[in-house]
């Protein structure tokens, strides 16, 4: 029985999360337990647990899909800058050749791939850099933010932020050459450009 309960909760969590990440549940839309339970053909309990988990991850707030204000966007990116700038310094100093090769492959894929391939390559690029920190606390903090970060990443890819891939290419070059100061500077500029773009993205309604 406990296994079935966990399975129902996991299904509810993944389904609701994917609806948010895919834009089927839009920013500011109210999350209605009864309606979701009916749609998923399960009781309200696993749906309620799933919603609670998504609230912890920041995708749902006050029973609504997040619709971040400008200040909330800035706060999220401030944390990303702190974490990913440290990670990119570590990558420039310590990343091995195999991971550098994977990083370069992300740049190539993002330059030539479909929109979904660009999304995946973008995510992989940043994940490789974060894991280069070899700091499990830092990695865990980024992973807890991953769903919210995905929403921002979707905006910059789907609405074709200018210079996105060129910036990745320059960050890769700095890492490959072991230039930690330049890599950190480029990552900071990259994330700040993401923020500026997100603040004017049609996908978010800012207050």
Q: Domain boundaries in the chain?
A: 2-65, 70-199
Looking at residue 101, its pLDDT comes to 97
75 pLDDT more than 80: yes
CA–CA separation, 132 and 93 (whole Å)? 9
105 pLDDT more than 90: yes
Question: Distance of CA 139 to CAs 16, 27, 136, 143, 146, Å?
Answer: 24, 27, 5, 6, 10
Say yes or no: domain 70-199 is CATH 2.60.40.10.
no
Arithmetic mean of pLDDT, 157-167: 92
pTM of the predicted model as reported, rounded to 2 decimal places: 0.82
Q: Give the architecture-level CATH label for domain 2-65.
A: Orthogonal Bundle (1.10)
Arithmetic mean of pLDDT, 164-183: 98
Tell me, rounded to whole angstroms, the distance of Cα 103 from its chain centroid: 17
Q: Which residues pair with 30 in a beta bridge?
A: 64
Q: pLDDT confidence of 6, banded at 50, 70, 90? A: low
Q: pLDDT confidence of 204, banded at 50, 70, 90? A: low
Q: Name the residue with higher pLDDT: 2 or 149.
A: 149
């Amino acid at each position: 029985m406990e296994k079935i309960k966990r399975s129902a909760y996991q299904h509810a969590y993944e389904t609701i999360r994917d609806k948010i990440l895919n834009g089927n549940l839009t920013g500011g839309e109210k999350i209605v337990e009864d309606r979701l339970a009916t749609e998923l053909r399960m009781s309200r309990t696993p749906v309620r647990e799933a919603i609670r988990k998504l609230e912890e991850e920041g995708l749902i707030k006050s029973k609504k899909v997040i619709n971040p204000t400008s200040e909330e966007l800035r706060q999220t990116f401030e944390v990303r800058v702190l974490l990913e700038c440290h990670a990119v310094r570590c990558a420039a100093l310590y990343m091995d050749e195999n991971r550098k090769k994977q990083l370069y492959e992300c740049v190539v894929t993002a330059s030539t791939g479909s929109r979904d391939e660009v999304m995946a390559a973008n995510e992989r690029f940043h994940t490789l850099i974060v894991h280069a920190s070899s700091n499990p606390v830092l990695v865990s903090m980024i992973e807890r933010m991953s769903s919210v970060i995905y929403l921002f990443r979707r905006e910059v890819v789907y609405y074709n932020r200018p210079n996105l891939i060129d910036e990745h290419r320059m960050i890769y070059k700095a890492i490959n050459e072991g230039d930690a100061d330049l890599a950190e500077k480029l990552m900071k500029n990259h994330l700040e450009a993401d923020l500026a773009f997100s603040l004017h993205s049609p996908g978010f309604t800012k207050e």
